[in-house]
Amino acid sequence: MKESAATVLIVDDDASVREAVRSLLASVGLPARAFGTTEEFLRAKTPTVPSCLVLDVRLPGMNGLEFQERLAEMGNHIPIVFITAHGDIPMTSRAIRGGAVEFLTKPFQKDEFLAAVHQALDRDRAQRKEQAKISVLQSRHAKLTRREREVMEFVVTGLINKEIAAKLGLSEITVKVHRGQAMKKMEADSLADLVRMAEVLHSQSHE
Amino acid sequence: MSKFRSDGRELASKTGFGEESRGVGSSALPHSGGFFGQSADALIWRYGIALFFVAIALVSTLHLQRLFPYPFFFLFFAAVMASAWYGGPGPGLLAVLVSTLAVDYFLVPPFDSFAVNTTEGTYFIAFIVSALAASWVSSLKKKSEEALRDARDQLEIRVAKRTAELQRSNAELSASERSLRLLTEVIPQQIWSATPDGSIDYCNQRLLDYAGRAMQEMHGARFLETLSAEDRDRFHRSWQSALSAGTPLEGEWRVRGADGAYRHFYTRAVPLRDVQGKIVRWYGTNTDIEDHKNAEHTLLRAQAELAHLTRAVTMGELTSSIAHEVNQPLTAVVANGHACLGWLEGKRPNLPEARQAVERIIKDGTRAGTVIGRIRSLFKKEAATRDRLDVNEVIQELTVFLRDAAIDQRVLLETDLDPNLPKIVGDRVQLQQVVLNLMMNAMDAMRGNSDGPKRLLVSSSCRHGKEILIRVEDCGVGLSSEAIEKIFHSFFTTKPEGIGMGLSISRSIVESHEGRLWAEPRPSGGAIFQFTVPIAP
């Protein structure tokens, strides 16, 4: 299975574990960067390539689960693989609810660990792909004029040109022109395509 | 034997009193014998005897006069001298007077008359003067004789008194010697003395009885035979160094009794010096401390068991923290193992990386082993040992176990250890138990403050160059002055699930290390528990 470039980030306060995990990942061709504390992790640059975080639950100061929540608040959706010496069920379910890919108990086996890491990386790739799509749509959407955006809003809710013209106090012809411009700028093939795009944009603006 | 001596003393004192009473009697004798006292009877007797002597002289002279052609007065001189001798000057003069009258009347012409012829006058006066002289000489002689006898009597009295005193002091001396000897035999200690070269020259009966030996079997090196073989060298060294330095000997050793059993004895010996400071003799005592030793040993064993038990309980509370500490290196070992295989796989194995992974496996495996070793030592039931220890190492080894528990309770565990600490002498596990206990207490004390800072600081420092101070500070609920008094008592606890033994055991451990453990409130809230341990000599 051919992988595109990816980076695994590790946060564990134990240097031995950190180094062992880094080496294990490197041995299968996965570059990894290790951090002793969450602060160090936050100070580091976010990788531009698909990445995931291998996070120890027990950390001095803020623990792994709290850090997961903090990252979400910050809008950082990096997929997380938790590792812990003694995880209990409430801890596991909390981590999974928070979006964790996997919750592994130390010492973990190579296969389950790598599977989790790959799953996390795949998720990040998908997220990045999605994010890239959204970015394209957002940049296209940004090119619309104010009128074109208003017309598009009403179009995707299923109103016909006549109704839109009445709502906006415009002529039906003008609405038709704006609608054509919007479809063109958004590079939408069909009305259905435009509706889907509008949904994506909508979900982003709500987040 | 003592009975006999006791009787002897009574006898001596009786004789002493006898001598004294006789002395008093003899001192009264010259008065009654010399002058017959001053009573009327004595007076009559003294003057009467003068008249009696003169009468005898007169009768004898009247009879003898016929035999001689010339006047014969000599017997009167004898009567005068005898009267002066026995009666004194007064009766002497009376005898002179009566003799003069008798001579005048019977022997000087005209006879049978007191008249005196002028031709005989000179001769008669010569008689009177001679008689007076005889009386005077006789009474003088008598006086000096009496003075002499008086002096002799006085001397005799003095001698008698001295003799009595001497006998009394002798009796006292022997009594005190006997009571001293009794003391040396009766007191519950073995007593001995030795010559300046160290050879034993006296042992009290108690010592000889214990050893089952006679005095001659204790001389010189034979004394050493009674010591247990392991202690002989040590005793010999101590004794020789005491002898050469002239410093007191002090030590404990096992000594074999007559029954062959060994008992612990505490020996102390001091030198006696003369005015020049030269050692004259050594005096020593041996005290049987076997029972004391046994009791001490039993107490120590009980304490050790209790300490072990509470240690096990405390360690039990730390199980998850300890598991974490073992699990970390194991995780690294497994991951490194997989990594190593990963590096070796493929067409071009990465040997340097594989080697590094194996090296890390060794390191982590060793680390896990060390952690387990420490746990084992904390759980082990072992008699207390005394080793040279680095206090910082003792603390650091322990904080490993608490690290995870501290993270769990969101306690910031900090250490401030002076890197230049001198070594101490102590039992590693016991000291770790004390630090563990104090740290666990500190964490428990901070359980309540959810918003405030939870900081636990363990520090070490050297105080006055003679002891190490270990402090455990927390920002917990703190201590009331009432609690500070009681926390070190057994079964006193402020914790719902506590048994109240931890601090009491900690204190006895610290005290067995000749240190001190105490608590005080932390000025900015919380408490400081601290203890000292003297630095190794």
Q: How far apart, in whole angstroms, are the C-alpha atoms of residue B317 and residue B99?
A: 136
Among A8, A10, A13, A23, which would you mutate to test the B interface (most chain B Cβ atoms within 10 Å of its Cβ)? A23
Average pLDDT over chain B, rounded to an integer: 83
Give me the residue from A23, A60, A86 closest to B323, CB to CB.
A86
Q: Decide: helix, strand or coil at residue B286.
A: strand
Q: For residue A37, list chain B residues with Cβ-Cβ distance below 8 A.
A: none
User: In the prediction, which pLDDT does B13 show?
Assistant: 43
Among B331, B334, B348, which would you mutate to test the A interface (most chain A Cβ atoms within 10 Å of its Cβ)? B331
Q: Which of B122, B123, B102 is nearest to B114 (CA)?
A: B102
Answer with the residue of higher pLDDT: B339 or B405.
B339
If you count them, how many residues does chain A have? 207
Q: Which of B339, B372, B375, B373 is nearest to B358 (CA)?
A: B339
pLDDT above 90: percentage of residues in chain B: 28
Q: Do A24 and B335 touch (CB under 8 A)?
A: yes
pLDDT classification of B498: cutoffs 50, 70, 90: low
Minimum distance, in Å, between the CA of residue B325 and any CA atom of chain A: 9
Residue B383: how many CB atoms within 10 A of its CB?
9
Q: For residue B341, list chain A residues with Cβ-Cβ distance below 8 A.
A: 27, 110
pLDDT tens, residue by residue, B338-357: 999 999 987 889 999 999 99
pLDDT classification of B29: cutoffs 50, 70, 90: very low
Q: Do B334 and A16 touch (CB under 8 A)?
A: no
Largest separation between any pair of C-alpha atoms in chain A:
72
Q: Which chain B residue's Cα is nearest to A107?
A: B331
Answer with the residue of higher pLDDT: A89 or B4.
A89
User: In the prediction, which pLDDT does B339 show?
Assistant: 94
Residue B26: is its pLDDT beyond 80?
no
Q: Do B333 and A17 touch (CB under 8 A)?
A: no
Q: Which chain B residue's Cα is nearest to A83?
A: B331
Residue A120's contacts (CB-CB under 8 Å, 6 or more residues apart) are A52, A53, A79, A80, A81, A101, A102
> Exposure pattern of B133-162 as b/e (b: 16+ CB <10 Å)?
ebbbebbeebeeeeeeeeeebeeebeebee
- Taking residues B498-518, report their average pLDDT: 84
Q: Do A16 and B340 touch (CB under 8 A)?
A: no
Minimum distance, in Å, between the CA of residue A58 and any CA atom of chain B: 7
Least confidently predicted of B123-127, B350-354, B461-465: B123-127
* A16–chain B Cβ distance below 8 A for any pair: yes
Give me the residue from B323, B353, B357 closest to A85, CB to CB.
B323
pLDDT tens, residue by residue, A56-105: 988 877 888 899 999 999 988 899 999 987 777 888 888 888 888 999 98
Q: Which of B75, B74, B88 is nearest to B145 (CA)?
A: B88
Q: How many helices (H) and strands (E) does chain B have?
A: 14, 12
- Taking residues B196-225, report their average pLDDT: 84
What is the signed CA dihedral for A45, A48, A51, A55, rounded to 10 degrees?
Answer: 10
Give me the residue from A16, A28, A109 closest to B328, CB to CB.
A16
User: In the prediction, which pLDDT does B320 show?
Assistant: 78
User: In the prediction, which pLDDT does B533 show?
Assistant: 94
User: In the prediction, which pLDDT does A137 show?
Assistant: 87
Q: Which residues pair with B252 in a beta bridge?
A: B266
Q: What does pTM read for this prediction? A: 0.55
Q: Do A23 and B339 touch (CB under 8 A)?
A: yes
* A112–chain B Cβ distance below 8 A for any pair: no
Q: For residue A19, list chain B residues with Cβ-Cβ distance below 8 A.
A: 332, 360
Give me the residue from A20, A61, A108 closest to B336, CB to CB.
A20
* A59–chain B Cβ distance below 8 A for any pair: yes
pLDDT tens, residue by residue, B226-251: 888 888 889 889 988 998 998 999 99
User: In the prediction, which pLDDT does B133 show?
Assistant: 87
Residue B27: is its pLDDT beyond 50?
no
* A20–chain B Cβ distance below 8 A for any pair: yes
CB pairs under 8 A between A and B: 93
Q: Do A23 and B356 touch (CB under 8 A)?
A: yes
State the DSSP H helix or E strand holding residue B210, giving kind and residue range, or none if neither: helix B205-211
pLDDT tens, residue by residue, B35-89: 444 678 888 888 888 888 888 888 888 888 778 777 677 888 888 888 888 888 8
Secondary-structure percent of chain A, ordered helix, strand, coil, rounded to 5: 60, 10, 30
Residue B288: is its pLDDT beyond 80?
yes
* A17–chain B Cβ distance below 8 A for any pair: yes
pLDDT tens, residue by residue, B154-206: 999 999 999 999 999 999 999 998 888 888 888 888 999 998 888 888 888 88
Q: Do A27 and B334 touch (CB under 8 A)?
A: no
- Strand ranges inside B444-493, DSSP E: 455-463, 467-473
